[in-house]
Structure 1
Amino acid sequence: MNNLLETFGGNPQDECRAIFASLFVLQNRLQSAGEKIEEELTMKQWLLLAITSICPPPRTFTNIGAIMGCSRQNVKKLAAALESRGYLTIEDGAGNSVQLSLTDKAEQYGQTMQTRHATTLQLLFEDFDEQQIDDLFASIMKLYRGVERVEAYASRLSQ
């Protein structure tokens, strides 16, 4: 990590490149570590359960995919695996849509893993004070707006 600071620090354009690359590196490292902490699920499966629990109805593949930032097909694949393992149900919804619902097994798993999740967050943000967490949150919200602009750009390029 010190190498990143030495190589890219001080030049805003280089720092943006380093931040961009770091987002992917951090995602990979968090996924790898998280899958050692999560006993039964992949991180993407865990994310699907977490998003399903907070998604306002209707909890369709499309709506959950929009929150997760992936296609409805990816949600469908993850949901099918979780349904076969008893973590959620896939039920017919309005029109051709389906609804996802968490099962008691998912709720129990969440309660079982609660301490591990709390410890994970504590370790991840241990070096941050409250103001830095607020600043990071605000910066990530700005990144989301930037991603929306990149998505619009990508859409224009593909037309």
Structure 2
Amino acid sequence: MYDFDKMDKRLIVFGYLFRVANRLQSKMDAQMKDLTAKQWFVILVLGLFEQPPTLKQLAAACDTSHQNTKQLVMKLAEKGFVTVHNDEKDGRSMRIKASEQWEQWDKDNEQIATQFIESMFSGVSMDEVADLSSSLMKIFDNLDNINGGT
């Protein structure tokens, strides 16, 4: 069995990054109605854009493949949470926009989302959150340099 006290803490963090991602998705999927955690994330990222992004822009911002993002967007469109239309200048590009149904869902579920975040960070100080945020951003940036930046 592993002796976590003697183990390289970086290896522990490495393992827990996967475990946290899996548990976060599982808990959110179980708690949210109408949306999966991944669909929710895509639509939240969509809200970061001033103008409706192309599918390519949205995929890049989500740090996921074009194909995966397209599948998520198509499911969101099926559910009425986003609208998809061809770009006026480049008919091959799809633009994605959150719908009024999303805005209503977001309002209706705001308290659930707030409670989820409160519970997730229970017992974690704001200083610890700031340190974690900073560390995760550095790790994220470092991953860009692995394999020559590809």
TM-score by length of 1: 0.85
What is the aligned partner in structure 1 of residue 115 from structure 2? Answer: 119
Paired residues for 1:58-97 under 5 Å: 58-93=52-87, 94-95=89-90, 96-97=92-93
| Residue ranges of structure 1 left out of the alignment (5+ in a row) | none
What's the CA shift for 1:7? Answer: 2.1
What is the aligned partner in structure 2 of residue 9 from structure 1? Answer: 5
What's the CA shift for 1:8? Answer: 2.9
Counterpart pick for 2:144 among 130, 148, 151: 148
**Other structure's SS at 2:83 match:** strand
C-alpha separation in 2, matches of 1:7 and 1:106: 47
Paired residues for 1:124-143 under 5 Å: 124-143=120-139
Is the 8 Å Cα contact of residues 29 and 35 (structure 2) preserved in structure 1? yes
RMSD of the TM alignment (CA)?
1.7
C-alpha separation in 2, matches of 1:152 and 1:47: 28
C-alpha separation in 2, matches of 1:48 and 1:118: 18
What is the aligned partner in structure 1 of residue 15 from structure 2? Answer: 21
1:61-94 alpha-carbon deviations (Å, 9 max, x no partner): 1111111110111111111111111110111113
Letter in 2 for 1:70: T
Is the 8 Å Cα contact of residues 52 and 97 (structure 2) preserved in structure 1? no
CA 1:144–1:151: 2 relative to 1, 3 Å: farther
Task: Give the number of aligned pairs.
Answer: 148
The worse-fitting range, judged by mean Cα deviation, of 85-94 and 56-65 is: 56-65
**Other structure's SS at 2:64 match:** coil
Letter in 2 for 1:32: S
What's the CA shift for 1:60? Answer: 1.1
C-alpha separation in 2, matches of 1:80 and 1:152: 33
Letter in 2 for 1:81: K
C-alpha separation in 2, matches of 1:27 and 1:69: 14
What's the CA shift for 1:37? Answer: 1.3
C-alpha separation in 2, matches of 1:88 and 1:151: 35
What's the CA shift for 1:34? Answer: 0.4
What is the aligned partner in structure 2 of residue 100 from structure 1? Answer: 96
C-alpha separation in 2, matches of 1:152 and 1:58: 31
C-alpha separation in 1, matches of 2:48 and 2:42: 10
